[in-house]
Structure 1
Amino acid sequence: MAITQQDVLKALSYVEEPDLGKDLVTLNMIENIHINGKQVAFTVILTTPACPLKDLIRNACINAIKLMVDKEAEVTVNMTSRVTSARGNNEAILGGIKNIIAVASGKGGVGKSTVTSNLAVALANSGAKVGLIDADISGPSIPVMFGVEEERPHVFRTPEGKNLIQPIEKFGIKLMSIGFLAPAESAVVWRGPMASSALKQFITETDWGELDYLLIDLPPGTSDIHLTLVQTVPVTGAIIVTTPQKVALADAQKGLQMFRQPQINVPVLGIIENMAYFTPAELPQNKYYIFGTGGAQKLAERWQVPVLGHIPLVQSIRESGDEGQPEVMKTDSPAAAVFEEVAQAVAQQVSVRNAGLEKTKIVPIITQ
């Protein structure tokens, strides 16, 4: 009996996407089915370029065809990706951006900007289109971490007569920071409304184009900047960066609670524990938990969110940031592999969030 497209789709309807908990056919992840005798080829559209379950899904598809259609079938599974989004195509602001991710911390000094920089590069290396806004107006560090301190964005006029800022590009990532607009040695001493206005300009008056992910590196704590963000654009989800010790976790909990407040209601994608353990370069297999252990896990269990990863405290991460070459770019670095795993976890959680939750709404501005 000849193999039909319906036979293939029926078999693949029994293959489940592990993260989303639904079958590939229901999720519209199967395209371009071609049948030539016993040769069967089709394309699986993954929800993220960073999908770590690619081989698992491919093998499950091959087994389903052989088991339910023809055991002698020659199956070719082509894998590609299309990042999901909970945003509409007609969004007035940042309409070309699929996912807006806030990266926050309860306190300073936990390495949030280092984590954000490496996360952005890791996502871009996986094939995603990525942008990054440095929203820490008073302490911008993204220009240093990307080695673009001396770069200055230019302004151009669109055919519609609107002036837009052209973001700086480095390592395939579009960047915007107050550090590009003020001398590095100058202190930016602004009241809340001025800082909020700058963030709004970075969001609404920058030519971001089409992106899969726009990461927002927020200042520490909870402030006007955080409120401005959620009142300007619908945020897909938030990531909380912390270190293991008790004082950092107490502040991280406050940052997490802010996004969980009913009037804000931004999904928390997970927690990243930075400086989780110290590993000396000469003893790469050794781990010394100088800040304690289990802190992020306890916080995650309390608030029922996942731990996205544990980043080690190693000298090369600091050196890479100072040199403007994020650690994840080093092919021989164990820490780079950890950042790649964290990026995969983030991409997974974005896909799960977009499949299972309603889209985030802009927080209304209430005036008395």
Structure 2
Amino acid sequence: MKVQVRKGDTFWYYSNLFNVPLTLIIDSNPDSDPKSLQIGDTVHIPGYQVSYYKVQKGDTFWRLASERRLALDMLALLNPKESPRNLQVGQTLRIPVQVGFRIVDGRQAYDFDVLTKHLKELLDTYPFIRTEKIGQSVMGKDLLELQIGHGSKVVHWNGSFHANEWITTATIMQFLNDYLIALTNKEPIRGLDVSPYYEQVTLSIVPMVDPDGVNLVLQGPPKGPFGEEALRINNGNEDFSGWKANIRGVDLNNQFPAKWEVEAERKPKKPRYRDFPGEKPLTEPEAIAMTELAHARQFEKMLAFHTQGEVIYWGYEGKEPPRAFTIVNEFRRVSGYEPIRYVDSYAGYKDWFIKVYERPGFTVELGEGTNPLPISQFDEIYQETIGIFLASLYM
């Protein structure tokens, strides 16, 4: 929500008027100097939207504010040209609405188009979210990283490394929405006050690593050579529900130089709907973008969300630090998921991250069943995962 600065207005005043943390208002207005606001400047108030109301007979600012439990000056601020004592029947007023409801509903087929729509709405409502384009997919879709908070500890989450595991993106995005609501409304999540983590943690999120593959699974083959090649790889079958790879038939979570040669020896030798690790490590733009992001951000810990199995993989060749054991046991406590230290599978993002940085890295396998998991599992998966999201911030 945008307001125009009046004489004497300050960020501190807006923080108190709208009951929004001052740091969120400052971060929502990065181009404004809090110490030198000018009359007429535009200021973003995070966590609010504007509704429009047509004045009825007998309405006054005081009555409208009282009925909606708003401070009277909120209405004055949003309607600076209206006379509080002389409202005209039929005129339109701007009414501030604090957003305590979800913009993101994860219970749907969550393709790149849905993600893009939700991101736009979240950025409009919560402009303290920072975004950075970290690369592009094979087909040119932007790979976006979201950042929330400005703590020295950088915690990273990612989803949809595998195309038919798109429910991971829906889960991440719905929790992100709940986190944003909690921050702006000063509310806890499961009894935990999350406001300190905004100052202590920088949360880095790549919600959809493989947008081309996700759209292939949910929308079918695109027109043109990429769609034609995907159909050829899929033996002409237009059912892509089993497709894990990117649009070129390369399994992105087999692309990393962490015993890649072991996987290459025993995996398919040419593009396929799953498991082909590529001709060599890091041939795909999506995998390259994720390695460059890790180098740039220096994550303190990393969580890659996959499906399925209700397990958490957390080791690689003994390079995982001792504290990873403590963290994964907390993940088990809050989710019921079973930790597994080692497994005969390599070349994944988690493997590479632990190998290079010797920091805690986790592959979290959500839900149970056959991929793609049905959307009917979403609510259960989400409730199981909330504790892991939170624990990744405080551990």
The two structures share one fold, judged by TM-score above 0.5 = no
TM-score, normalised on structure 1? 0.36
Higher Rg of the two aligned structures = 2
TM-score, normalised on structure 2? 0.34
User: More helix per residue: 1 or 2?
Assistant: 2
Which structure has the higher relative contact order (CA within 8 Å, separation 6+)? Answer: 1
